[in-house]
Chain A
Amino acid sequence: MIFSHIPVLQVIVPLVAAPLCVIFPFRKFCWTVALAATLTSLWIALTLLITVYAHGPITYELGGWAAPWGIGYRIDILSAYMTVLVSLISSVILVFSPRSIGAEISNARAHLFYTLYLLNLTGLLGIAVTGDAFNLFVFLEISSLSSYALIAMGQDRRALTAAFQYLIMGTIGATFYIIAVGLMYAMTGTLNIADLAQRLPEVMETRTILVALAFLIVGIGLKIALFPFHGWLPNAYTYAPSVVSAFLAATATKVAVYILLRILFSVFGPDAVAAMPIAQPLMILALFAMTIGSAVAIFQDDAKRLLAYSSIAQIGYIILGISFLSVTGLTGGILHLFNHALMKSALFLSLGAVFYRIGSVQISDMAGLGRRMPWTMAAFVVGGMSLVGTPLTVGFISKWYLIRAALESGWWPIAVLVLASSLLAMIYIWRVVEIAYFRGHPEAGADIKEAPLSMLVPIWFLTGANIYFGINTGDTITAARAAATMLLGGPQ
C-alpha cells in the first residue's frame, strides 16, 4: 500500500521533518531527524529510479483530483535521476555537517539550520517530481527562500549582503518564471505540464508564447547562474557556511538546469525548440561561461570563491551539452549534472574540513597543508583532477561526451574550447595544490591535525564516487542516455 504513495512521500518526508526541528530545537535531535529524513528520501528516490526504469513513468494525483485540474506528480526517468542526485548529495553532506555546523553556526541557530536544510531539500525534490508548472513555482520558492536564509547564516557579515543580492536576483528569476507561466495559462488555460505540451503547438506562433519563452529562459537562467546572470553566485558560495556552499553548489543550480530541460523539452518540445532561435544563444552564453568562469577562477585568492567561479564554468559545460540538441550532447549535459555535483560537493566539503582546522580558506593560508592534512588535501586533489577531466574520474566521462557531441555536429572549434577551458581548470587547481604541497616551512603549523574521521568519511565517500563512476560508467551513462532519449523523443 505504501508503495503506491512513494511519489508524494518523496516530498512529504523532509517536509514533516522540518517543523519537528523547529518545535524541538535540540541540536542532536534535529541532526538525527534530518539524517533519517534524507536517508529515507534517498531510499525512496532509488526505488523510484528502479521502478521508472523498469515500468515507465509514474503518476500521482494529489487529493484524488484528476491531473489537468488537480496537481499531478509525474515521475519519469529524468525526475527520478534528479531525486537520486539531490537526496544522495544531501545525505552525505548531512553526515559531514555536525562538527562543521558546530564550528560555524551558533548553538542557538543550529536547529534552524537543519529546518532550512530540510525545507530546501523539500523544494528541490518537489521541483523534480511535480508535473504541474505552477506547483513547480511553489517548490522553487520554498527552496529559494530557504537557501537565502541558509547563506545568511555565514559567520562573515558579508554573508548578509551576499544573501540579499541572491534574494533580489533569485526573486527576479522566480517572478519571470511565474509571468511566463501566467502567459502560457492565458493562451492555453492549463498549468499541467503534459497538458501544456498538448495545447501549446496550436498557439506556438503567437507573440504571447514567444514572450513567455523569453521570460522562462531569462528567469531560469538567473537561477542556474548562467553567464551573464551569474553575479549573485560567487559571493553567495564564498560567504555561506561550508556545508551550505557544498549543498547549494551540488544541488540548487542542478535542479534549476532540470527546470530548463523540463520547459524546453517537455513543455515546448524538441521540434519547437529546434525551430526557434534558442540553442545558438544558449551555446554562445555557455562558451562564455566556460572560458570566462575558468579564467576568472585563476585569479582568486579565496579557495571557496575559486570554486564558485569554477562552478560558473562547469554550468557552462552543462548548458553547452543541452544546446547541441542531440542525444549525445544531452547525455553529456545530463551526465555532467551528476558528475559536477559529485566533484563540487567533494571539493567544497574538503574546504569545509580545512576551514574547521585552520579557520580560513585563503589559498595563502593553506601552505604546507599537504603534509598536515594529507587525506583532506588528497581528496581535494582527486576532486580537482575530476574537475579538470583526467581519465579515470567522472569529469573525463562527461567531457568525452561533450567533445563527441561537438564533433558529431561538426563544430570542432567548440571541442577545442572545451579542452582549452579544461587547461584553465588545471591552472587554478594547481595553484592550490602548489601552495598546499610545495610551499611553507616543513615545521610550520605542526599543531594542525588531520580532519576528524566524521568529516573524512563523507569526503572520501564522494571522492571515491568520483573515481568509481569514472571507471564503472555503465549505470550513470545508461540513466543519462535514457533521459536524453526521452527528452528528445518529444512530450509524452
Chain B
Amino acid sequence: MNSHSVVRVVTKLLMPFIFIYALYVQFHGDFGPGGGFQAGVIFASGFVLYTLVFGLENARRVAPAWLTRTALGLGVLIFAGTGIASMIYGGLYLDYSALAHDPHHGQHLGILIVELGVGITVAAAMISLFLVFAGQDKDD
C-alpha cells in the first residue's frame, strides 16, 4: 500500500475521527445507544485500518504483544474490581449504588467504569485476534 498516497493520506485523516467516535460511543453510552462492546470494536476497526495500510510491522510497534495481552487482562480486572469495590463499600457484588453517597451517582459511576473495562478488553481482543491471524507468528 506504500505507493497509494491517496489511501495513506485519507487513512491518516480518518483515524483520529474513528478513535474519537469510539470514545464517544464509549462514554456517551449511558445516555444514547452504545457502550463498551461497540466502542471496543470501533476502536479496534481503526487499528485494523492502520494495519491494512501501513503494514503489520508498524502495527506491532504501536501495539506490541505485551500491551495487548496486558489490556486483555486489565479490562476483566476493572470489571471484576468494580464489583469488589462495591462489596468493600458495603453493598452486594456489582451493586453500584454503594459506590457513591448518592445511589444515583453511584449507579452512574459504576456503569461507566464497568463499560470502560468491557471496552478495553473488547478492543484488545479484536486487535490481538487480527494481529495474530495476520501474523500467524508467535503465541500471544
Interface residues of A (CB under 8 A from B): 1, 5, 8, 12, 15-16, 18-23, 25, 60-64, 108-109, 112
Which B residues between 82 and 111 are near A, CB-CB below 8 angstroms? 83-84, 87, 90-97
Q: Is the CB of B95 within 8 A of A23?
A: no
Q: Is the CB of A22 within 8 A of B73?
A: yes
Q: Is the CB of B95 within 8 A of A64?
A: yes
Partner of B76, one of A1, A18, A61, A62: A18
In the complex, number of A-B residue pairs with CB atoms less than 8 Å apart: 57
Q: Is the CB of B77 within 8 A of A62?
A: no
Q: 16 additional contacts, CB 8 Å, given A15-B76, A64-B92?
A: A12-B83, A16-B81, A16-B84, A19-B72, A19-B74, A19-B77, A20-B73, A20-B77, A22-B70, A22-B72, A23-B74, A61-B92, A62-B92, A62-B93, A63-B93, A64-B95
- Closest-CB distance, A75 to chain B (whole angstroms): 14
Q: Which residues of the partner chain B approach A61 to less than 8 Å between Cβ atoms? A: 92
B81 to A, closest residue via Cβ: A16
Interface residues of B (CB under 8 A from A): 69-70, 72-74, 76-77, 80-81, 83-84, 87, 90-97, 138-139
Q: Which residues of the partner chain B approach A5 to less than 8 Å between Cβ atoms? A: 87, 92-93
Query: Given known contacts A15-B80, A18-B76, A108-B139, is B93 in contact with A8 (CB within 8 Å)?
Result: yes
Partner of A19, one of B76, B84, B93, B97: B76
A-B interface, 9 closest residue pairs, ranked by CB to CB distance from nearest: A19-B73, A64-B95, A22-B73, A23-B73, A63-B94, A19-B76, A8-B93, A64-B92, A16-B80
Q: How far is the CA of A169 from the CA of B94 in the complex (A)?
A: 34
Q: Is the CB of B80 within 8 A of A62?
A: no
Q: Which residues of the partner chain A approach B84 to less than 8 Å between Cβ atoms? A: 12, 16
Q: Which residues of the partner chain A approach B93 to less than 8 Å between Cβ atoms? A: 5, 8, 12, 60, 62-63
Q: How far is the CA of A19 from the CA of B74 in the complex (A)?
A: 7
Q: How far is the CA of A19 from the CA of B87 in the complex (A)?
A: 20
- Closest-CB distance, A22 to chain B (whole angstroms): 4
Q: Which residues of the partner chain B approach A15 to less than 8 Å between Cβ atoms? A: 76, 80
A11 to B, closest residue via Cβ: B93
Q: Which residues of the partner chain A approach B69 to less than 8 Å between Cβ atoms? A: 22-23, 25
- Closest-CB distance, A282 to chain B (whole angstroms): 37
B97 to A, closest residue via Cβ: A64
- Closest-CB distance, B34 to chain A (whole angstroms): 21
Q: Which residues of the partner chain B approach A63 to less than 8 Å between Cβ atoms? A: 92-96
Q: Which residues of the partner chain A approach B77 to less than 8 Å between Cβ atoms? A: 16, 19-20, 23
Q: How far is the CA of A15 from the CA of B83 in the complex (A)?
A: 12
Q: Is the CB of A12 within 8 A of B97?
A: no
- Closest-CB distance, B132 to chain A (whole angstroms): 13
- Closest-CB distance, B44 to chain A (whole angstroms): 18
Q: Which residues of the partner chain A approach B80 to less than 8 Å between Cβ atoms? A: 12, 15-16, 19
Partner of A23, one of B70, B83, B139: B70
Q: Is the CB of A60 within 8 A of B92?
A: yes
Q: Which residues of the partner chain A approach B138 to less than 8 Å between Cβ atoms? A: 108
A5 to B, closest residue via Cβ: B87
A112 to B, closest residue via Cβ: B139
Q: Is the CB of B94 within 8 A of A109?
A: no
Q: How far is the CA of A399 from the CA of B76 in the complex (A)?
A: 44
- Closest-CB distance, A70 to chain B (whole angstroms): 10
Q: Which residues of the partner chain B approach A62 to less than 8 Å between Cβ atoms? A: 92-94
- Closest-CB distance, B137 to chain A (whole angstroms): 12
- Closest-CB distance, A288 to chain B (whole angstroms): 42
Q: How far is the CA of A112 from the CA of B128 in the complex (A)?
A: 15
Q: Which residues of the partner chain B approach A23 to less than 8 Å between Cβ atoms? A: 69-70, 73-74, 77
Q: How far is the CA of A12 from the CA of B92 in the complex (A)?
A: 13
Q: How far is the CA of A193 from the CA of B92 in the complex (A)?
A: 21
Q: How far is the CA of A175 from the CA of B89 in the complex (A)?
A: 39
Please indicate which of the listed interface residues A8, A18, A22, A62 has the most CB atoms of chain B within 10 Å of its own CB: A22
B88 to A, closest residue via Cβ: A1
Q: Which residues of the partner chain A approach B76 to less than 8 Å between Cβ atoms? A: 15, 18-19
- Closest-CB distance, B119 to chain A (whole angstroms): 15
Q: Which residues of the partner chain A approach B70 to less than 8 Å between Cβ atoms? A: 22-23
Partner of B139, one of A8, A18, A109: A109
Q: How far is the CA of A22 from the CA of B70 in the complex (A)?
A: 7
Q: Which residues of the partner chain A approach B97 to less than 8 Å between Cβ atoms? A: 64
A12 to B, closest residue via Cβ: B80
Q: Which residues of the partner chain A approach B72 to less than 8 Å between Cβ atoms? A: 19, 22
B103 to A, closest residue via Cβ: A64
- Closest-CB distance, A189 to chain B (whole angstroms): 24
Q: Which residues of the partner chain B approach A25 to less than 8 Å between Cβ atoms? A: 69
B65 to A, closest residue via Cβ: A25
B90 to A, closest residue via Cβ: A1
30 A-B residue pairings within 8 Å (CB atoms): A8-B92, A8-B93, A12-B80, A12-B83, A12-B84, A12-B93, A15-B76, A16-B80, A18-B76, A19-B73, A19-B74, A19-B76, A20-B73, A22-B69, A22-B73, A23-B69, A23-B70, A23-B77, A25-B69, A60-B92, A61-B92, A62-B92, A62-B93, A62-B94, A63-B92, A63-B93, A63-B95, A64-B97, A108-B138, A108-B139
